[in-house]
Copies of this chain bind each other. A is one copy, B any other.
Amino acid sequence: MQALWLENNQLQLRQVPIPEPLPGEALVRVLRAGICNTDLELIRGYYPYTGILGHEFVGIVEQGSEQLQGQRVVGEINATCRECRFCRSGQPTHCENRTVLGIVNRNGAFADYLSLPVKNLHRVPDTLPTDIATFTEPVAAALEIQQQVTVSAAERVLVVGDGKLGQLVAQTLALTGCDLLVVGRHQHKLANLSARGIKTGLADAIQERAFDLSVECTGNPAGFELARRALRPRGTLVLKSTYADQLTFDASSLVVDEITLIGSRCGSFAPALQLLASGQVDVEPLIHAHYPLAEGLAAIERAKTKGVLKVLLEMSGEV
């Protein structure tokens, strides 16, 4: 089968064998996959990874589950051991022995086939288009914030970043009824959010020390700095992006203002699928391009381009 293979920070289109699912795993024929900033960071080398890239996908189960056979599915990306202290304490995304689809020791979704534990798979409702369902993983990640922090309607919330992740974080936070502002640097991206009634602004004009909660979705130090300055004393800053570099911050001001900083990663798929199916989160305007897997390298270049939101890969179904 064809696959986008990462090795030594070099991405290649390669022929590789179709994966052989382990016991408890299903073989999934990939229909569509989304390119995420984490993929771009992995190519830049933020974390050493060798193998097939990609972790956002919709596919069809071809082997390994009678119940899901022939069904469209999405899949949680952490394959867990079920035995370590984190699995046993209900925190499987922090499993000590986990592999992570396209990120840690497990071949990913930029390929004709992938394998994942059956328990990771969720059936996609028939009414939900494949393109839209491909966003389940990042919408789940956006929802993780609300698992970590209580966001009430009275709160002033700032989302820093108008990229793919920032847009999903903003849409999910808006559903809480909080007093939300999203800042970015691209009028056409912010326009997506304005169209849904979400307040937007340019990053240079935010009010300092005014927000109860800020969410950093840019993955760069300037975004972190902005999210920090926007917070009132005792405010909370959620770090939602991965960072290729180290972050530097004024630790004394964090102490003096008693700021809370929270790292936030993967979330639950079920509520994400629901929000996509009901249209409460609308990802249609985020889709900027489709590429066949065979043009995967061009797709990655497009995804790296300033101003471009989600680029989707389409698999041919021929191996």
Contact = CB atoms under 8 A, between A and B. Distances in A.
22 contacts: A41-B252, A47-B252, A86-B233, A94-B233, A94-B257, A240-B255, A243-B252, A244-B252, A246-B250, A246-B251, A247-B250, A254-B261, A254-B263, A255-B263, A255-B264, A255-B265, A256-B265, A258-B265, A259-B262, A259-B263, A260-B262, A261-B262
A91 B233 contact: yes
Interface in A227-252: 233-234, 239-244, 246-252
B264 A258 contact: yes
A46 interface: yes
A94 B224 contact: no
Nearest to A91: B234
Interface string A185-227: 0000000000000000000000000000000000000001000
A249 B246 CA distance: 5
A105 interface: no
Given A246-B251, A249-B247, A258 B94 contact: yes
A148 interface: yes
A91 B232 CA distance: 12
Interface size class of A (residues with CB under 8 A): 35 or more
Nearest to A238: B255
B263 A258 contact: yes
A163 to B, nearest CB: 16
A3 to B, nearest CB: 24
Contacts of A94: 233-234, 257-258
Contacts of A249: 246-247, 249
Contacts of A251: 224, 239, 242-243, 246-247, 263
Contact of A257 (B46, B247, B263): B263
A6 to B, nearest CB: 17
The 10 A-B pairs of least Cβ separation, nearest first, read A94-B233, A254-B263, A255-B263, A247-B251, A243-B251, A261-B261, A248-B248, A242-B252, A258-B263, A243-B252
